Amino acid sequence: MNVAFASTDKIHIDEHFGRAEEFMIWKVGPDTASFNGIVQVSTSGADEADRIESRCAGLADCALVYVAEIGGPAAARLVAKKIHPIKSKTKAPISDTIEQLQEVLRGSPPPWLRKALLKDVGV
């Protein structure tokens, strides 16, 4: 599944969803993970709803997005598009977060994560 990370330094999850200009995209499975590129998102728009929508559109192929912070309206918009936002409680390294996600995927993922996995296979 594709997973997005909001990062200012491309190493840590340290950016607010609403301020992010780009997201690091990783393809993550239970046993493999590979960097899939950077998605640039538009930071312009007539109002906040337009800016949120442009970020959501840029992440349409992602099942999860890790952020440092996210507002309620943006989180709701992501969830409506079947993209699950996850707030990182610390300035966690992306590599550590991927390893933790893989451990969960190898075990018994919670129902919301199983649904996110299904998004990747087009179900």
Over residues 57-108, the pLDDT tens digits come to 889 999 999 999 999 999 999 999 999 999 998 899 999 999 999 999 999 8
The enclosing domain of 85 has a CATH number of: 3.30.420.130
Q: Tell me if residue 19 falls in helix, strand or coil.
A: coil
Sign of CA dihedral 102, 63, 16, 79: negative
Number of domains the chain is built from? 1
Q: Which residues contact 107 (CB under 8 A, 6 or more apart)?
A: none
Residues spanned by the domain of 52: 2-120
Q: What band does 123 get if pLDDT is binned at 50, 70 and 90? A: very low
H and E: helices and strands count for the chain: 4, 5
Q: Tell me if residue 59 falls in helix, strand or coil.
A: coil
pTM, full prediction: 0.90
